[in-house]
Structure 1
């Protein structure tokens, strides 16, 4: 780990190379994403750090063998509520979690108390997964939301699930490298090596035989960018696209994709993170740069904190986390304006999904790494092999779901337990370059020039 003082010295100022961005991009893909040579399977077995074995579900003093009401409170109560708590939970297991959370608190005070009790949801989840969950312990874990998410994923991706699949092929004529879903999955934005960023209207997807409306963003006939459109990030209805032409463009999706701002960087923009107060960019010249898109001069700071291109980024109001081809994970503390950690890795991280205190990342050997952030620092707590045969190019995690994509031509759906339980493997005819999930919709970027969409029934 490097100290903050050592990290400050990384702020070198290299000039632009002047190299043709398309040649640079092709060299990068050839080096990083092609001619895959994985380590021998036996030498890259997943590892786990020591963890105390669970000693059963902690229920805060509740006795599952007794009724949740007793004594004077039992008078006049429904016979259902006089049953042992664990039997009531068993009866509730036949109802959908979302229905329980929405309706039962309105019935009576006792049911409201049962629904608000954490053990209600912990018992329910434990019976569904029979594995350690969540992977990273946290005091404020939202058990009801996790239970709803988990049960819906199980229903959608089970053998008899009714998930619909659509392949959108009318927007791009080159591989698609980035996708982003907006407005609860009703809109999709995609970035491609044809230099275009396309906006797809998915509102009527599957309702008729008409093609899904799609339009390239920008007015330039040669493309949205002058280089491959490689990265995307959103903050509410504002979308930022990053390109190998070293520019970032911000689009107002609420105004039908109108260009709001054009920011010139120093090198190819390989990854982005977009927050209400800042835009963070990781670039080919080893830099992590921070911008304020609201300012007339948006650049706040730019630091070369890696020794190779920056491949992946995540950020919140406290940290900026970056992964690089130099096989390091760097944690920058926004509050003290300094590097907090520099973690040396065996492999490099292609993609990240972060919601404190959990950071999930996919690497160039097909492995998934989980980090926990407690006390201001990050520590690796797990490393999983979820079955990918080559680089993990995309990762998306919520409380109850985990999606991963890979150059092995698959998208996998998992429950984020320890270890993850794979629910479905969706095979494709080409590499899959990224994934995004919103509402009932899943989108994946395909090297076959398409945007792949899965939609769940209401």
Structure 2
């Protein structure tokens, strides 16, 4: 379509007297002069008609191709009103978009993202096919001692900590992920073999085998002309808690699991992908000595937070070599980078800690912003936004060194996405919340029911996209308007524990032991 637009415009301009070089062709490298009253053809039409014609072209074409054709058509992409009309056509006239402040909003990017999202995701469905009898899974890293999956999954937190007590305290996320089928959770250290749970007799290895079977069976079926689904072969032997795309191109995926390990996947390899590296410090057999609960990355630096009260730093440019160990005072529940070397951690002991990853003594400051566990974090160079089990959301100004604003909710937040002037978050009841952040003031805009019936474990929002996942076994893709327009719902066999989006690639981690990747078909 883009080449057709270019050819039509060139032909039109070639008919104009003196509008192009000999031969009737207009060079794409030389902008054409603005049309005059004597001009004929496309550029002689009233500006409103030209803008209307351009509104039927893909947003990406308007942004990247028309400016190369001629200066006059390049001005189309500068028309804010035209972009707003396009956005209204995409979202519908009965919704509010954007949900947050309109000042400084990136309309072209939002329209391009919404068009791409709609083209790719509308109508996506999931199906199940019989497992490949030749499927083979290798669980052990070379050099590791052999260990049954049940053994690795049933260990207690080092130091005598009570994992179940912590999980009961933060309740929603863990209960909902595990609660639907407790006999199928291979990582429940308090579920004895043969014990009855919910009237179902649990047999030895049944949970592990059932989860493995589903990981091998599930196949998500996209629209054949838009997306491809890449279920990575299992690389963990316990439930995956966190997934993160790193590197800026959606080419590498990190996953953190209850098997105490962090794995890296190279998505550029063969269709099935492969484990690039299991990140293991020198002298240890696993990445951590407790469940890996959260991940964060900035540039080449990857951070993993664990139930073992530590944060480990990994250098992606050095193949995942360990770069440092940061001791925390409690279970690490969430991580976020506010600057390339400034890492934030939210912990079970009600604290938000700020660390300088370059320093030998990394702790910069500890903030007591809440009265209960800190469940989610988001940040930029100035503000830290934290959500807690005490049902509050706090905004802390790093430059001023003080808390600027605090909101009390009827539920508590477990996942958060912050960009521009908007904050989107998911709570323990399945609702999605939208906030605006301007001048340090956090204002609740709206609360949405998008169809989740349990804890919202992951949220990703950009100018033109919204992804949510829940322990109710669903992942949903929406347009980020008020109310959100849901394009599709993906059903999973187990609760979905996290998602990550980067460069149009989506990675999903569920209660099973594999990572599912969606990307645009090339």
Q: TM-score, normalised by structure 2?
A: 0.71
For 2:112, which of 148, 164, 176 is the aligned residue? Answer: 148
1:129: Cα distance to partner? 1.4
- Cα distance between partner residues in 2 of 1:309 and 1:168: 33
- Structure 2 partner of 1:250: 313
Equivalences, count? 384
* 1:111 to 1:230, Cα distance in 2 relative to 1, 3 A: same
| Structure 2 residue matching 1:346: 3-state secondary structure | coil
Question: Contact 1:323–1:329 at 8 Å: present in 2 too?
Answer: yes
Question: 1:182 and 1:211 mapped to 2: Cα distance?
Answer: 15
Q: Write the distance in 1 (CA, Å) between the matches of 2:83 and 2:40.
A: 22
Paired residues of 1:200 and 1:214 also in contact (CA < 8 A):
yes
Matched-pair contact (CA < 8 Å) for 1:171–1:214: no
Helix, strand or coil: the match of 2:81?
helix
Matched, 1:384 2:346: no
Match of 2:55 among 73, 93, 108: 93
Change (3 A) 1:436 1:194: same
* Gaps in structure 2 of 5+ consecutive residues: 1-33, 124-222
| Distance in 2 (alpha carbons) for counterparts of 1:355 and 1:392 | 19
Residue matched to 2:23: none
Write out per-residue CA displacement over residues 11-64 of structure 1, whole angstroms, 9 at most, x where no aligned residue.
Answer: xxxxxxxxxxxxxxxxxxxxxxxxxxxxxxxxxxxxxxxxxxxxxxxxxxxxxx
Q: Note the residue ranges of structure 1 that are not aligned, 5 or more in a row.
A: 1-71
The residue number in structure 1 matching 2:329 is 266
Matching residue of 2:377 = 313
* Displacement of 1:418: 1.0
Aligned to 2:252: 187
Q: Whole-Å Cα distance in 2 between the matches of residues 263 and 371 of structure 1?
A: 32
Structure of greater Rg: 2
Identify the structure with bigger relative contact order (alpha carbons < 8 Å, sequence gap 6+): 1
Shift of 1:402: 0.3
Partner residue in 2 for 1:236: 299
The structure-2 alpha-carbon separation of the partners of 1:438 and 1:205, relative to structure 1 and needing over 3 Å to count, comes to farther
Task: State the 1:76 CA deviation.
Answer: 4.7
1:197 maps to 2:262: yes
C-alpha contact (below 8 Å) 1:169/1:449 kept by paired residues: no
Corresponding residue for residue 34 of structure 1: none
Question: Of 86, 102, 122, which residue of structure 2 is paired with 1:158?
Answer: 122
Match of 1:374 in 2: 438
Given the two structures, how large is their TM-score scaled by the length of structure 1? 0.81
1:255 CA displacement: 1.2
Kept in 2, the 8 Å contact 1:181–1:187? The answer is yes
- In the alignment, what sits opposite 1:340? 404
- Return the alpha-carbon distance in structure 1 between the equivalents of residues 509 and 317 of structure 2: 23
- C-alpha distance in 1 between matches for 2:318 and 2:417: 28
Specify the alignment match of 2:390 in structure 1.
326
Q: Distance in 1 between matches of 2:254 and 2:262?
A: 7
Which region of structure 1 is more displaced relative to structure 2, 399-408 or 219-228? 219-228
For the pair 1:400 / 2:464, whether they are aligned, the reply is: yes
Alignment CA distance shift 1:77-1:240 (3 Å): farther
Alignment partner of 1:301 is 2:374 = no
Query: How far apart, in 2, do the equivalents of 1:110 and 1:80 lie?
Result: 11
Match of 1:217 in 2: 279
RMSD: 1.6
